Chain A
Amino acid sequence: MAFDIEMIKKVYSRYEERVNAARNLVNKPLTLSEKILYTHLWDGNATETYDRGVSYVDFAPDRVAMQDATAQMALLQFMQAGRPQAAVPSTVHCDHLIQAKEGAQVDLQRANTESKEVFNFLGSVANKYGIGFWKPGAGIIHQVVLENYAFPGGMMIGTDSHTVNAGGLGMLAIGVGGADACDVMAGLPWELKFPKLIGVKLTGKLSGWTSPKDVILKVAGILTVKGGTGAVVEYFGEGAQSMSCTGKGTICNMGAEIGATTSTFGYDESMERYLRATDRADVADAANAVKEHLTADPEVYANPELYFDQVIEINLSELEPSLNGPFTPDLYTPVSRMREEAAKNGCLQQ
């Protein structure tokens, strides 16, 4: 059974009403990103439309995730709020304070000694305030969130830029500072500038050596490290549907490297398979009941240029594996040209 299934069901129970309220105001078909944004307004049903890239809007995220470095001040502040429990389901993940050197066993033991007081503190605060706590060695925040907490159509914030990884399960998951996490746990609204929307249409199908990583490496090459600033990137098309859920997570994860607010994909069978495989059939069933709201309206993907601020198309059947670098994640080189490019840098041999 999934964590916080009652919260997820509650979110879904109001989805239709809120999507309809937004669609009536916007007066045209909605992208998935807009549906998630408009169903998470702090004030409930939409009463006005917002200008992309201009309006500041108060939202009510469904959950909060924190890593062990940024969680410290966020929780110290949260303790000041005087609440018995965090206002929304929240988790702490110990993954940043473990130095890699010799291998898992030795490294973890050393971290448990060196940062014992921090882990003990985080564990005790989590225990007190109803916050889930993932101990050192349990895993990396964004993978643990994808495996346990992310759900299609949800909105979450996390105190780390790669929180966006959860877009692989059809969420809007956004990286923030500790003060924002503290506010949401304390029961305050969370403010975000209403994002611009970039649509990425994936045609064809991945095969051979090409993988989801190559999709985001290509997108980074096109948009550069600044090209996604202030925007949500929404992926769609037959190529998106034929890709695994964790592969979608890989693409969303590196959306942080192009400066995107976050990235996401519409709910599909790959997500359902992943939810069931990770012991969350209850979430899959709940999502299936509202699935037309967990992706964009069909008109949007049929004519994306009418609904997105920018549209990119990538044919996965023609995509080559690539290596991006050095020193910046947007310097794109397909493997077939790598020998030539690397020779220029003199970094051929490892």
Chain B
Amino acid sequence: MIGSCTNSSYEDLSRAASIAKQAVDKGLVTKAEFGINPGSEQVRYTAARDGLLKTFEDLNATIFTNACGPCIGMWDRVGAEKQEKNTIVHSFNRNFAKRADGNPNTFAFVASPEIVAAIAISGDLGFNPLTDTLTNARGEQVKLDPPTGDELPSKGFAVEDAGYQAPAADGSSVKIDVDPNSDRLQLLEPFAAWEGTDLKGLKLLIKAKGKCTTDHISMAGPWLKYRGHLDNISNNMLIGAVNYFNEKTDSVKNQLTGEYGPVPATQRAYKAAGIGSIVVGDENYGEGSSREHAAMEPRHLGVRAVLVKSFARIHETNLKKQGMLGLTFANKEDYDKIQEDDTIDILGLTTFTPGQPLTLVLHHADGTEDQILANHTYNAQQIEWFKEGGALNIIRKNQAK
């Protein structure tokens, strides 16, 4: 396969086409399936005008949409579900297991478009076009000449409809198109500002054990279709995190009923009862992608603070931007003091100051208490984010002035 966001330029297509044309001229047929993803409509239109796409089609290549397609796994490959061992060669950039077609037994190799074309024609991964010959339909041994191509189209680029929509000069009257019944899109409501008091009576939602990446906090895969719908995607909140107390994922104790249930449902129960909660985590909490959903979901469902041994920096910043409290244990051993039925107070918020730790009171079920210190890295600006309920609330306020 040739194309995707890399190696889909006019030069790439013209050099690969020079190989494809030789194959036709020399009586060779492609032994493997061959697909092309042009990078843009401008490149596609120009390549079609100059006969490059016709050359590929003469070798039975499929021309896909000018879009990511197989390179990001958006490939409904016939037979992939059978998980047969097979090899693909492409000029994309990534070749991790299952990336293109979901089949763990697909061996994927990355190469230049020229080499991809040569291998597609030979059907042999070991084919070295610099030295090896191929047998054509007439039984003759033929060798492919090195590729040739044009850096830029000699007749210039052309396009009929580039697919661009210019924005309105004055967009103030433009209506945003979201169906209130949509399950994929939901307009956001501003998060509430801080109530101005210490946070008391927070229930422990989960004490996560070990690795808790953004994938554990907001799982990808099938959930990605809800990435524009905060309430729906919040149903994946922390479902990948391991509960310290029972070593299970997506199973935490609801302190109101004493029963175990999924994390999102338990948190929704607290929210419905008007009770805040706290998430406790281990080292490097929130490592992985910069996915903002991992910070927005707990905020949306009413979690008030995330207390961990250490944060991955981007996630910590994302929490701050959403108006959440991201705190770290001043003494990491205090992680062990957190018990399953704890109710927790966070004190010191009325004098929330850069560099000054906050105090947490852990009310255990047996009536005993522990007091621990929590550090934070909020600067003066970020403390304002917390107080106003999120960075965007401040921008909106300033805009309104």
Residues on A facing B (Cβ under 8 Å): 69-70, 72-74, 76-77, 79-85, 94-104, 107-108, 111, 117-118, 120-121, 123-144, 147, 162, 165, 176-180, 182-183, 186-188, 191, 207-214, 217, 244, 246-247, 249-250, 253-254, 256-257, 270, 273-274, 277-279, 321-329, 335-336, 338-340, 342-343, 345-350
Q: Could you tell me how many residues of chain B have their Cβ less than 8 Å away from some Cβ of chain A?
A: 117
Q: How far is the CB of B335 from chain A (nearest CB, A)?
A: 27
Interface residues of B in 136-181 (CB under 8 A from A): 146-147, 151-153, 156-157, 162-168, 171-172, 174-179
CB contacts (< 8 Å) of A81 on chain B: these are 392, 395-396, 399
* B395 partner, pick from A102, A108, A165, A187, beta carbons under 8 A: A187
Contact in complex: B129, A76 (CB < 8 Å): no
Residues on B facing A (Cβ under 8 Å): 4-12, 15, 31-32, 35, 37-44, 62-70, 72, 74-76, 85-89, 91, 93-97, 107-115, 118-120, 123-131, 146-147, 151-153, 156-157, 162-168, 171-172, 174-179, 182, 184-188, 190, 224, 227-228, 230, 289-293, 295-296, 314, 317-318, 321, 391-393, 395-396, 399-400
Q: How far is the CB of B228 from chain A (nearest CB, A)?
A: 3
* B130 partner, pick from A108, A124, A209, beta carbons under 8 A: A209
CB contacts (< 8 Å) of A343 on chain B: these are 126
Query: How far is A161 from B110 in the complex, measured between Cα atoms in Å?
Result: 17
Query: How far is A273 from B224 in the complex, measured between Cα atoms in Å?
Result: 40
Contact in complex: B399, A82 (CB < 8 Å): yes
Name 21 interchain pairs, CB-CB below 8 A, sorted by A: A73-B296, A74-B292, A80-B396, A99-B74, A99-B76, A118-B185, A124-B176, A132-B167, A133-B165, A136-B65, A139-B38, A139-B66, A208-B146, A253-B93, A277-B153, A277-B156, A321-B112, A326-B108, A338-B126, A350-B119, A350-B123
Query: How far is A186 from B392 in the complex, measured between Cα atoms in Å?
Result: 8
Contact in complex: B5, A142 (CB < 8 Å): yes
Q: How far is the CB of A313 from chain B (nearest CB, A)?
A: 21
CB contacts (< 8 Å) of B64 on chain A: these are 100, 103-104, 107
Contact in complex: B113, A211 (CB < 8 Å): yes
* B5 partner, pick from A162, A208, A322, A345, beta carbons under 8 A: A162
CB contacts (< 8 Å) of A134 on chain B: these are 162-165
Q: How far is the CB of B355 from chain A (nearest CB, A)?
A: 17
Q: Known: A124-B177, A213-B113, A350-B32. Contact between A177 and B95, CB under 8 A?
A: no
Query: How far is A133 from B164 in the complex, measured between Cα atoms in Å?
Result: 6
**Nearest-CB residue, chain A, relative to B397:** A82
Query: How far is A131 from B166 in the complex, measured between Cα atoms in Å?
Result: 8
CB contacts (< 8 Å) of A279 on chain B: these are 157
Query: How far is A117 from B167 in the complex, measured between Cα atoms in Å?
Result: 18
CB contacts (< 8 Å) of A126 on chain B: these are 165, 167
Q: How far is the CB of A290 from chain B (nearest CB, A)?
A: 24
CB contacts (< 8 Å) of B97 on chain A: these are 327
CB contacts (< 8 Å) of A128 on chain B: these are 167-168, 171-172, 174, 176
Q: Known: A147-B40, A324-B95, A327-B96. Contact between A141 and B5, CB under 8 A?
A: yes
Query: How far is A101 from B75 in the complex, measured between Cα atoms in Å?
Result: 6
Query: How far is A111 from B111 in the complex, measured between Cα atoms in Å?
Result: 29
Q: How far is the CB of B324 from chain A (nearest CB, A)?
A: 13
* B188 partner, pick from A80, A83, A103, A335, beta carbons under 8 A: A80
* A127 partner, pick from B120, B162, B171, B296, beta carbons under 8 A: B171
Contact in complex: A140, B125 (CB < 8 Å): no
| Most A-side CB within 10 Å, residue of B96, B107, B156, B165 | B165
Contact in complex: A273, B66 (CB < 8 Å): no
Q: How far is the CB of A210 from chain B (nearest CB, A)?
A: 8
* A350 partner, pick from B37, B65, B86, B292, beta carbons under 8 A: B86
Q: How far is the CB of B246 from chain A (nearest CB, A)?
A: 32
Contact in complex: A349, B87 (CB < 8 Å): yes
Query: How far is A131 from B178 in the complex, measured between Cα atoms in Å?
Result: 18
Contact in complex: A138, B66 (CB < 8 Å): yes
Query: How far is A277 from B10 in the complex, measured between Cα atoms in Å?
Result: 11
| Most A-side CB within 10 Å, residue of B10, B114, B187 | B114
* A336 partner, pick from B85, B123, B131, B295, beta carbons under 8 A: B131
* A208 partner, pick from B113, B130, B179, beta carbons under 8 A: B130
CB contacts (< 8 Å) of B393 on chain A: these are 80
Contact in complex: A96, B164 (CB < 8 Å): no
Q: How far is the CB of B21 from chain A (nearest CB, A)?
A: 16
9 A-B pairs with least C-beta separation: A177-B290, A138-B163, A139-B40, A339-B126, A143-B39, A72-B228, A100-B69, A246-B9, A325-B109
Given A124-B174, A186-B392, A349-B87, 19 further pairs, Cβ under 8 A: A73-B228, A98-B68, A104-B65, A130-B168, A137-B65, A138-B164, A179-B295, A188-B391, A211-B147, A244-B152, A273-B152, A277-B156, A322-B111, A323-B111, A327-B95, A327-B107, A329-B93, A342-B126, A347-B85
**Nearest-CB residue, chain B, relative to A101:** B76
Query: How far is A254 from B68 in the complex, measured between Cα atoms in Å?
Result: 15
Contact in complex: A211, B163 (CB < 8 Å): no
Query: How far is A253 from B91 in the complex, measured between Cα atoms in Å?
Result: 12
Query: How far is A97 from B224 in the complex, measured between Cα atoms in Å?
Result: 11
Contact in complex: A326, B95 (CB < 8 Å): yes
Query: How far is A212 from B114 in the complex, measured between Cα atoms in Å?
Result: 11
Query: How far is A142 from B296 in the complex, measured between Cα atoms in Å?
Result: 28
Contact in complex: A162, B110 (CB < 8 Å): no
Q: Known: A79-B176, A273-B152. Contact between A278 and B157, CB under 8 A?
A: yes
Query: How far is A257 from B5 in the complex, measured between Cα atoms in Å?
Result: 14
**Nearest-CB residue, chain A, relative to B109:** A325
Contact in complex: A98, B62 (CB < 8 Å): no
Contact in complex: A139, B89 (CB < 8 Å): no
* A273 partner, pick from B94, B124, B151, beta carbons under 8 A: B151
* B224 partner, pick from A69, A191, A249, A256, beta carbons under 8 A: A69
CB contacts (< 8 Å) of B96 on chain A: these are 327-328
Query: How far is A101 from B77 in the complex, measured between Cα atoms in Å?
Result: 6
Query: How far is A209 from B8 in the complex, measured between Cα atoms in Å?
Result: 17
**Nearest-CB residue, chain A, relative to B162:** A138
Contact in complex: A103, B63 (CB < 8 Å): yes
Q: How far is the CB of B173 from chain A (nearest CB, A)?
A: 9
Contact in complex: B185, A329 (CB < 8 Å): no
Contact in complex: B40, A144 (CB < 8 Å): yes
CB contacts (< 8 Å) of B224 on chain A: these are 69
CB contacts (< 8 Å) of A100 on chain B: these are 35, 37, 64-65, 67, 69-70, 74-76
Contact in complex: B40, A127 (CB < 8 Å): no
Query: How far is A304 from B43 in the complex, measured between Cα atoms in Å?
Result: 36
